[in-house]
Amino acid sequence: MESSLPDLEAILLVGGQGTRLRPLTLGTPKPLLPTAGVPFLAHQLARARSFGVRRIVFATSYKASMFEPAFGDGAAFGLSLEYITEETPLGTGGAIRNAAEALTSGPADPVLILNGDILSGHDIEHQVRMHLARRAAVTLHLTEVEDPTRFGCVPTDESGRVTAFLEKTPNPVTNRINAGCYVFTRSVIDSIPKDQIVSVERETFPGLIESGQLVLGYADRTYWLDVGTPAAFVQGSRDLVLGRLDSPALPGPTGEHLALAGARVSPEAKVQGGTAVGARAVVEAGATVVGSVLSDDCVIEAGASVIDSVVGKGARVCAGTVVRDAVIGDGAIVGAGNELQNGVRIWPGIELPERAMRYSSDV
């Protein structure tokens, strides 16, 4: 269904260093990590396009030069893309203000702000329409989470007006949190100080509320995930492959696994649970891979088990090794008979000898 919104412009915040995802982000910025067979941002770009976005300005900082080679001018997505780099990180508000230099929209037009580490199933068009109908300064997407103590929470009154921005607290007043997708009226972006470090969460939004401007909450209960940790990153890829979140960018049908061109999965291997198998990756007979991300050119040898884990580009998991809830860096070799679990991370290029790491006491 084609959106009837006017040509909407967006700013995509992709400046973060992805420190919680190391070593995956040592060579690749988080938004470019392969997720269900394509760079993470491909899912966001395709969804934005489906809601009527036509032009997106990338606000880049960390490894900025890698984004344009990945997405070019955006024609493959039916988008026009621009790239703006901040030489020194300016915070969320500063990054938005800096990227706004490349916008073409007028002062009263809506501008969509997307975060480069969020997977969301919410209706962007509905959020924009609510913003326009109520003539809000900013309209924030709010999502409901089971444990709001890990997030700042955002209470609203019965009309949907945001009444406060509360930092993380052991006793949150609501389970609604800031989900990281905003619609700004362009003139409000222009009021953010230029070339200064500004946080929208701690400065811009509270300042607007204090001055009596309308900050709205668009709350829903659709799919939402911050992919900032290895476990969440694996979950996001898995949910896309399984079809729990619809994405126009998925490079194949949904199902138990998705294999890219040149991947070799033995018919005697078990590959399931929403596993993504990268290009030219090899899964040998007797191997078991469940709910994992296998990057391009990696090898899972006979009898190895990889569960809820990420295996980096060109890495090798040798025969009989068990990898569970772990991250194997690019080019690493995990020798036979190892047991890696509980969030362990193997750095790129490391070679673990046979049976170097065990959790069980059997020989």
Q: How many domains does the chain have?
A: 2
Residue with tokens 């990268």: 278
Judge whether 1 lies within some domain: no
φ, ψ dihedrals at 342, nearest 5°? 55, 40
CA dist 165 and 144 (Å) reads 15
Same domain, 211 and 321: no
CA dist 84 and 145 (Å) reads 33
Judge whether 69 lies within some domain: yes
Its domain, for residue 214, covers 8-226
**Could you tell me where the DSSP H helices lie in 218-278?**
230-242
Same domain, 72 and 111: yes
Any idea what the CATH number is for the domain that residue 274 is in? 2.160.10.10
Any idea what the CATH number is for the domain that residue 218 is in? 3.90.550.10
Judge whether 360 lies within some domain: no
Same domain, 142 and 264: no
CA dist 40 and 82 (Å) reads 18
pLDDT digits (tens, 9 = 90+) for 59-116: 887 787 888 888 888 898 889 999 988 787 788 899 999 999 999 999 999 999 998 8
Same domain, 126 and 273: no
Last residue of a domain, one of 226, 245, 279: 226
Same domain, 68 and 216: yes
What local confidence, expressed as pLDDT, does residue 2 receive?
Answer: 45
Residue with tokens 């394509």: 38
Judge whether 272 lies within some domain: yes
Q: Are 224 and 122 in contact (CB under 8 A)?
A: yes
Buried b (16+ CB within 10 A) or exposed e, 95-114: bbbbbbebbebeeebbbbbb
Q: Which residues contact 163 (CB under 8 A, 6 or more apart)?
A: 155, 156, 157, 209
| pLDDT < 50 regions, the chain | 1-3
Same domain, 162 and 21: yes
Judge whether 135 lies within some domain: yes
Same domain, 18 and 99: yes
Judge whether 264 lies within some domain: yes
CA dist 338 and 277 (Å) reads 22
What local confidence, expressed as pLDDT, does residue 5 receive?
Answer: 64
Same domain, 304 and 185: no
Same domain, 155 and 37: yes
- Describe the chain by its helix, strand, coil percentages, rounded to 5: 25, 30, 50
Same domain, 64 and 135: yes
Structure tokens at 60: 């880049």
Same domain, 219 and 263: no
Last residue of a domain, one of 177, 207, 226: 226
pTM exceeds 0.85: yes
Of residues 184, 14, 27, the one with CA closest to residue 83: 14
Same domain, 264 and 213: no
Judge whether 90 lies within some domain: yes
What local confidence, expressed as pLDDT, does residue 6 receive?
Answer: 59
Judge whether 97 lies within some domain: yes
